[in-house]
Amino acid sequence: MRLSASFGAAMASTLAVCRLHMKGRGSLSKCLQKVDTFLHRTIGTNVVAVKEEREGCKSLYGVQAARQEQAERSVLVSCHARTNEKNFLKYLSRHGDINKYFFYESYGMYAVVEFANRESLASLLEEAAIPSISHESMVPFKSRLLSLRNLGSADAPNQRSGQQCQPQTTIPINELIQRLSREESIEQQITSLTDVYQLTEENSRLRFLVCSLLKDIAAAYFPECTINPFGSSVNGFGKLGCDLDMFLDVDGISGRNAKMPKSGLWLEYQMKRASSERAVTQSLLSVIGDCVDQFGPGCVGVQKILNARCPLVRFAHQPSGFQCDLTANNRVAMKSTELLYLYGELDPRVRHLVFTVRCWARAHGITSSIPGAWITNFSLTVMVLFFLQRGSPPIIPTLDHLRDLAGPGDKNVIEGNDCTFVSDFSKIQLLSNTETLEKLLCEFFEFYSTFAFNRMSISIRKGNEQNKPEVAPLHIQNPFETSLNVSKNVNATQLDRFVALCQESSWLLHQSDTNTPRGGNAEKAPTPWGLATLLMPSQVAGIKGRKKRRREPASERIKSLLESLKNTNQHKKS
Ligand code: GTP
Ligand code: MG
C-alpha cells in the first residue's frame, strides 16, 4: 500500500489509512453481533470461531474470519481514471475512518475502500443516490458496488490523479523469463517466481469482497448463509488471475448440526422436503444463479451447470475481473483447501515448489484453464506434496499422521468420509530436512521421470505408493474420498507428455549451460538460464531438438534417465 506524496499529514490524522486493524476475538465477535439493517436486509452475522494462532501460523479459519469481517466493512467503487485520490478519500471519510483503500484497473478504474466501522458504511450507503435514467429501465437492487459521479470541477482534466493502481494480473511469461534470468541462483529464481505470481494482499481482499457482495444477494433468501472462497484463492497456492471458487454455506440452517432439546415443548420451522441433498443443492444454486444473473451488478455470462458431479453456477464478475464458480454443499473441497493450506504453512519450500511446478506445467500446456484430459492444478499440487513426503527424511507428514495428531474438536466426517486432521499446528513435529529448492526441483523431475505410473497410485494419506486399484493411466487417490481418483480425467497422452517433460527438464537442469547464470546487463536482455530455461517451451522441446545440441558428459543418473526415455519410446512403437 503506497500513499502519494501529496496525500499528506493533514489526511493522516483523520484517516487511519494503511493500518490493518486485525481485531481480536472479543472485538471481532462484538462487531459481528451488531445487526446491520442497511439495504433493508440483514447482513449475515455468522461467526466463524477464530482459532488461536500458534507459532506464527494462522489457521485458515482465522484468516477467513478476519478477511470476511474486513470485506463486510468494504465497498467497491467504480471511478474515473482521473479521480483525484485526495478528494475521493476526503469525500468518503465524511462517513468515518477508512482503514485501508487501494485502486486497480479492470475494464475501468475501481477502488476498494474498507471503513473502520460498519456504521460508516451504512451512512455512506444511506447517502448514495439512485441513478436517474430517463430512457432505460433498471433492476432496483442496491449493493455495495457503487459509481463515483462528479458534476463539479474538482478533478480538472489536466490534474494529476495521484492514485497508484495495484496490479491484479500476472506479468507476461516473457517478462517473467527475463526477470528470472537476472537472478543469481536457481534458489532465487524459485522464490522470485513465487513473489511475482502469488496473490497479493489487495487481490486477496478483493476476492473476499466479491464473496461478500455475492452473499448480500444470497442473503435475501438465506440471511444466515455465508459465502467463502476455497481452492487456490485461499489455499496459499493461488496465482494472480486464478479463478474464484466460492462455497455457499447454508449449514447453519440445514438441520445437519441441529441440537434437539431433551424434553419439554419447542417450536421448529416447517421446511419443504426434497428427494436428496443433491436436489437441494441444485435448486438452491438454480435460484441464486437466477438472482446473480438478474440482479447482480457486474455479474455477466451466468451459466448454471447443475448436472455436474459438483453442481455450480459459473459467471464473470466484471468489476474484479474474476471468473467465478459458485458451489454449495461442497464441504469436502473446503477440507481439501484447509489441508493444502496447512501443508503450505508447514514449510516455505512447499509453496515455492508448488508454485514453480504449477507455473512450469502451465507454460508447457500440461495444465489448462479449459476442462479436458489434462492434469489439473489440484492433482499437480497433490503430486508435489506426495513427492515431499517421499524425501529422506520427509519434508511434510502424511495425512494419516495428521489425522493421528487430531484432537477431539478436529473430528470431521463428511458424508461418511473421514476428513479429520489436526488443526493445531504446534502439534506437528517436522523432521530435519535441509535440502535446497534447487535440489528439490531436480529431484521432483527425476522422481516423476521414473515413477511406475502403470502400476502405482499416489496417496498423500499413506505417503507411499499404493497398488493401483483401477486401470486409469494416472491414479491419484482423493485424500478424503479415498475410493476416488482425482486424476480420472487424465488420458495416456497427457501423462506421457508430463513424464517426457519431467525427463527433459531434469536433463536440462544438469547441463552447465543451463544451470549457471549467463550474464547480461542493463541494456541487453539477459540470456535465459536455470528455471527461466525450463519455462520456455522451445527449450524443453523434446528429444530430437536435444540431440542436435552440444552435450555435457552425462552422469550415471542422467544416462539411466535417457535410457528409460529410450525404452519408453521403443515400448510405444512396439
Ligand atoms: P486453480 O483454480 O487451477 O488455480 O486451482 P484450484 O486449486 O482452485 O483448483 P480448482 O479451481 O479446479 O478446484 C478448487 C478446489 O476444489 C481445489 O483446490 C480442491 O480443493 C477441490 N478440487 C478440485 N478438483 C478436485 C477433485 O478432483 N477432487 C477433490 N476432492 N477436490 C477437488
Ligand atoms: Mg480454482
Q: What is the 3-state secondary structure (H, E, C) of 332-393?
A: HHHHHHHHHHHHHHHCHHHHHHHHHHHHHHHHCCCCCCCCCCCCCHHHHHHHHHHHHHCCCC
CB 458 within 8 A of CB 438: no
Give per-residue pLDDT as tens, 189-228: 999 999 999 999 999 999 999 999 999 999 999 998 999 9
- Tell me what pLDDT residue 255 has: 64
Q: How far does residue 36's CA lie from ligand 1's centre (Å)? A: 34
Q: How far does residue 231's CA lie from ligand 1's centre (Å)? A: 5
> Considering only CA atoms, which of 333, 295, 329 is closest in space to residue 311?
329
> Considering only CA atoms, which of 382, 383, 386, 430 is closest in space to residue 405?
430
Q: How many CB atoms lie within 10 A of CB 464?
A: 13
CB 301 within 8 A of CB 267: no
CA of residue 24 relative to chain centroid, distance: 25
Cα 69 from Cα 63, distance rounded (Å): 10
Cα 122 from Cα 87, distance rounded (Å): 21
CA of residue 87 relative to chain centroid, distance: 34
Cα 187 from Cα 312, distance rounded (Å): 40
Assess whether the C-beta atom of 70 lies below 6 angstroms from ligand 1: no
Q: How many CB atoms lie within 10 A of CB 221?
A: 12
> Considering only CA atoms, which of 428, 439, 405, 523 is closest in space to residue 185?
439
Residue of 335, 358, 369, 378 to mutate, ligand 1, most atoms within 8 A of C-beta = 378
Cα 349 from Cα 344, distance rounded (Å): 8
For 558, phi then psi, to 5°, come to: -70, -35
Spell out the per-residue pLDDT of the chain, length 574, in tens: 223 333 233 333 323 322 223 233 333 333 333 323 222 222 222 223 333 334 456 789 899 999 999 999 999 999 988 888 899 999 999 999 999 999 998 888 999 999 999 999 999 999 999 888 766 788 889 999 999 988 765 555 445 455 677 777 888 888 899 999 999 999 999 999 999 999 999 999 999 999 999 999 999 999 989 999 999 999 999 999 999 999 999 877 666 666 777 888 988 889 889 999 899 999 999 999 999 999 999 999 999 999 998 999 999 999 999 999 999 988 999 999 999 999 999 999 999 999 999 999 999 999 998 889 999 999 999 999 999 999 999 999 999 999 999 999 999 999 899 999 999 989 999 999 999 999 999 999 999 999 999 999 999 999 999 999 988 999 999 999 999 999 999 999 999 999 999 999 999 999 877 778 876 566 677 888 999 999 987 766 554 444 444 444 444 445 555 455 545 544 444 3
Distances (CA, A) of 180 to 69, 242, 509: 37, 21, 15
Among the bound ligands, the one closest to the CA of 199: 1
Distances (CA, A) of 505 to 5, 183, 285, 385, 497: 47, 19, 44, 19, 12
Among the bound ligands, the one closest to the CA of 333: 1
Cα 302 from Cα 397, distance rounded (Å): 41
Assess whether the C-beta atom of 235 lies below 6 angstroms from ligand 1: yes
Indicate the DSSP class of residue 263. S
CB 292 within 8 A of CB 317: no
What's the pTM?
Answer: 0.83
Assess whether the C-beta atom of 281 lies below 6 angstroms from ligand 1: no
Which ligand 1 atom sits nearest the alpha carbon of residue 367? 3
Assess whether the C-beta atom of 231 lies below 6 angstroms from ligand 1: yes
- Tell me what pLDDT residue 527 has: 86
Cα 65 from Cα 208, distance rounded (Å): 10
Distances (CA, A) of 384 to 351, 376, 407, 448: 10, 13, 27, 10
Assess whether the C-beta atom of 146 lies below 6 angstroms from ligand 1: no
CB 468 within 8 A of CB 462: no
